[in-house]
């Protein structure tokens, strides 16, 4: 689904708009071609609709990147995706910038045979924040199911609302695993009191560790929370109904904590598209690599004047 717009543009250029569904669906792995026609609104995701009526919604707030999950995850913590090693990897890294979904080099659970990268020099103040304040990244499925000679394996799976078994953990959704901030062997915190602080876990945890800390009254100051894959709302293996279940349960549980009145919760998405309607962000910097420029036509990314937003 990340490449839906590029596929639409390619279809339009070829005069094939009557085959939009087939063309778009075929661009993303094993997705069902009809998936692009999926539709969700306030009638189906009522909880999200109700949240939008009562809390701030930044519908004209744009990220500095668009594209797949790894790009968004890295940009979340570092404000950029540059600094990758290797500096060029077909369809994954171009001129040192991550453009695809390569897996993190420093993660035992990165699948064998798939491209991996390391990130150098991306440690900004934002990226360092969970390491200078009590906090960390808490992701569903991070806790290993087995260890073989000290190497972690992340084999947990859960069923989504459609009954499909989905792996819990996605390594390329965990941005801190690409750099020195990683916990390569998925080691647990040494004690509950050390959750959010520096020890062998290096601030990288399973989602369950967040609730262990919360129940003990030791909620970290800064926490990134990532659902198990089947509840992360990613088209192809999750959907807004699974995602809504995760968000409602998480927010309900947070509201029961004594810290709730001092808490801010931000819900963010790491892709530029997916199940919901989006407005194309203004292009500030054009693409520097015509080979991977698919937004308008090769070599022309962002040359048209950006649309003015109200």
- pLDDT band at residue 130 using 50, 70 and 90 as cut-offs: low
Average pLDDT over residues 162-191: 96
Whether the per-residue pLDDT at 307 is higher than 60: the answer is no
Q: What's 85's DSSP letter?
A: E
Boundaries of every domain in the chain = 39-292
pLDDT for the residue 304: 46
**3-state DSSP assignment of residue 210:** helix
Task: Please state the pTM of the whole predicted model.
Answer: 0.84
Q: What is the mean pLDDT of the chain?
A: 82
Structure tokens at 187: 């080691």
| Mean per-residue pLDDT, 159-183 | 96
Residues 6+ apart with CB under 8 A from 103: 110, 111, 114, 115, 116, 117, 171, 172
CA distance 46 to 40: 10
Sign of CA dihedral 46, 52, 234, 253: negative
Q: Is the pLDDT of residue 295 over 90?
A: no
Mean pLDDT along residues 246-268: 94
**Contact in structure between 81 and 101 (CB atoms under 8 Å):** no
Distance CA 137, CA 105 (A): 17
- Cβ atoms of 202 and 130 within 8 Å: the answer is no
DSSP bridge pairs for 157: 167
Tokens 């689904």 appear where? 1
Q: What is the DSSP string of 28-40?
A: STT--GGGGG---
Q: How sure is the predictor about 212, in pLDDT bands with cuts at 50, 70 and 90?
A: very high
Bridge partners (DSSP) of residue 152 are 147
- Give dist(CA 119, CA 107) in Å, integer: 13
pLDDT of 294 higher than 70? no
Q: Find the mean pLDDT for residues 93-97.
A: 92
- Cα–Cα distance between 310 and 305 in angstroms, integer? 16
For the chain, give the number of residues: 310
Chain-centre distance for alpha carbon 21:
25
What distance in Å separates the CA atoms of residue 270 and residue 67, rounded to the nearest whole number? 9
Q: Nearest-CA neighbor of 3 among 211, 271, 195, 239?
A: 271
């Amino acid at each position: 689904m990340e490449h839906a717009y590029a596929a639409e543009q390619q279809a339009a250029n070829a005069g094939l708009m009557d085959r939009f569904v087939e063309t778009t669906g075929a661009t993303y792995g094993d997705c069902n071609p009809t998936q692009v026609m999926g539709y969700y609104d306030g009638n189906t995701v009522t909880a999200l609709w109700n949240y939008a009526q009562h809390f701030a919604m930044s519908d004209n707030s744009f990220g500095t990147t668009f594209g797949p999950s790894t790009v968004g995850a890295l940009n979340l913590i570092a404000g950029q995706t540059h600094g990758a090693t290797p500096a060029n990897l077909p369809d994954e890294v171009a001129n040192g910038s991550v453009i695809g979904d390569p897996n993190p080099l420093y993660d035992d659970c990165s699948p064998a045979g798939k491209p991996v990268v390391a990130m150098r020099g991306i440690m900004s103040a934002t990226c360092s924040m969970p390491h200078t304040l009590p906090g960390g990244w808490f992701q569903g499925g991070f806790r290993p199911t087995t260890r073989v000679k000290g190497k972690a394996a992340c084999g947990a799976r859960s069923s989504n609302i459609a009954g499909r078994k989905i792996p819990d953990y996605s390594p390329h959704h965990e941005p801190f695993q690409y750099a020195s901030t990683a916990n390569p062997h998925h080691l647990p915190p040494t004690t509950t009191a050390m959750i959010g602080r520096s020890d062998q876990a290096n601030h990288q945890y399973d989602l369950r560790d967040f609730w262990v800390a919360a129940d003990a009254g030791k909620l970290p100051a800064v926490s990134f929370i990532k659902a198990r894959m089947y509840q992360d709302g990613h088209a192809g293996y999750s959907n807004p109904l699974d995602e809504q279940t995760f968000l409602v349960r998480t927010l309900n549980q947070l509201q029961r904590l004594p810290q709730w009145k001092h808490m801010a919760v931000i819900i963010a998405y790491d892709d530029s598209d997916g199940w919901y309607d989006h407005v194309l962000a203004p292009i500030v910097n054009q693409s520097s690599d015509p080979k991977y420029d698919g937004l308008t036509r090769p070599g022309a990314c962002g040359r048209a004047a950006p649309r003015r937003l109200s």
